[in-house]
């Protein structure tokens, strides 16, 4: 009898654990997919019955309780060299040069069609997925369902991404149960969110459909994304600037505020390379422990931030691309 009780308790525990890790899907969401996008209701119920809660995603996006403290919190500075060390490595430069060599014709085809620098495309793929070696380990259906239906600060965004993901799989006939991506649901070599890939994805190898895990399609899709966000063919990305002092706080920095270069000279800010004095540029400050690096960032730098809204990210892409170009020549 005692053994039977233990077995029953174990079964009950397993059922409870299984149930707690399952997700309740909004019926209105399923209804919309059926009515608006012609999905089969039984198919949707079947795939959603497999969904498990993706805990890593919740750790990032779930609301955190506010800490009550009387102490003044000091701002934690994330210094540029630490970031740079992660994304601009000898391995990434070598792998980037090999990628450029292997896909040279495709990269230059993208340049001819969209005007986007081939080395920038290679750098983005290197940073996003290690040139295809790491496109994500989390089941995208689990991730997007978790973030769509468990309360978090971006529920509306992820509900849209879940819908776009299912539309993507319907269009391409990929099995949604087999697709893996980032902890936030980004997919492929370029780590596009599904909504972006549905808009900017390109069938660059002309095989009949857009495949984010295909190198040629990834190259074309990234080039199209940058072009449609304003990329200027053969335009400058960024130039290091000189200024007086070790810390810079004279003017507002950041990629959204542009200045006339002639005005900047009045503040003692000069480009270290020759640029058109009639140009406009943003000021990007990269903080080091002992000093600030100051850069003049032009339109193409801003375009890279449309891919990832971080000045550090855009600078890492640019500098990695220059290293890849140097090794490739």
Q: Catalytic amino acids? A: 128
Q: Which two tokens stand for residue 40?
A: 């089969």
Q: Select from 108, 132, 125 the least CA-distant residue to 204.
A: 108
What whole-number distance in Å separates Cα of residue 50 and Cα of residue 166? 15
Task: Please list the alpha-helical segments (H only) found in the chain.
Answer: 2-20, 27-37, 41-48, 55-61, 80-87, 90-102, 104-114, 118-129, 140-149, 155-172, 194-200, 215-228, 261-266, 299-307, 311-328
CB 261 within 8 A of CB 277: yes
SS3 240: strand
CB 103 within 8 A of CB 216: yes
What whole-number distance in Å separates Cα of residue 92 and Cα of residue 11? 49
SS3 293: strand
């Amino acid at each position: 009898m005692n053994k039977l009780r233990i077995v029953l308790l174990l079964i009950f525990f397993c059922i409870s654990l299984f149930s707690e890790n399952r997700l309740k899907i909004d019926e209105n969401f399923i209804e919309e997919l059926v009515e608006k996008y012609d999905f089969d209701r039984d198919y949707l119920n079947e795939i959603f019955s497999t969904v498990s809660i993706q805990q890593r995603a919740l750790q990032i996006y779930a609301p955190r309780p506010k800490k009550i403290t009387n102490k003044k919190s000091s701002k934690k500075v994330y210094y540029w060299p630490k970031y740079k060390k992660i994304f601009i490595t000898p391995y990434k430069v070598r792998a980037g040069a090999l990628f450029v060599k292997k896909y040279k014709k495709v990269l230059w085809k993208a340049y001819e069609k969209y005007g986007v620098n081939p080395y920038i495309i290679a750098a983005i793929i290197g940073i996003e997925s290690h040139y295809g070696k790491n496109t994500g380990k989390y089941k995208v259906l689990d991730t997007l369902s978790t973030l769509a239906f468990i309360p978090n600060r971006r529920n509306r965004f992820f509900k849209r991404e879940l819908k776009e993901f299912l539309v993507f799989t319907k269009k391409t006939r990929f099995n949604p149960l087999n697709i893996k991506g980032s902890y936030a649901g980004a997919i492929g070599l370029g780590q596009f969110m599904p909504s972006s890939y549905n808009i900017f994805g390109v069938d660059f190898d002309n095989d009949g459909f857009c495949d984010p895990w295909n190198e040629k399609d990834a190259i074309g899709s990234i080039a199209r994304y940058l072009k449609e966000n304003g990329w200027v063919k053969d335009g400058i990305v960024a130039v290091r600037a000189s200024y007086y002092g070790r810390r810079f706080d004279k003017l507002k920095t950041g990629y959204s505020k542009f200045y006339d270069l002639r005005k900047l000279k009045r503040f003692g800010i000069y480009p270290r390379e020759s640029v058109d004095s009639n140009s406009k540029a943003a000021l990007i400050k990269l903080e080091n422990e002992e000093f600030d690096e100051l850069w003049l960032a032009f339109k193409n730098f801003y375009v890279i931030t449309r891919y990832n809204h971080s000045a550090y990210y855009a600078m890492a892409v640019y500098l990695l691309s220059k290293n890849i170009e140097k090794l490739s020549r």
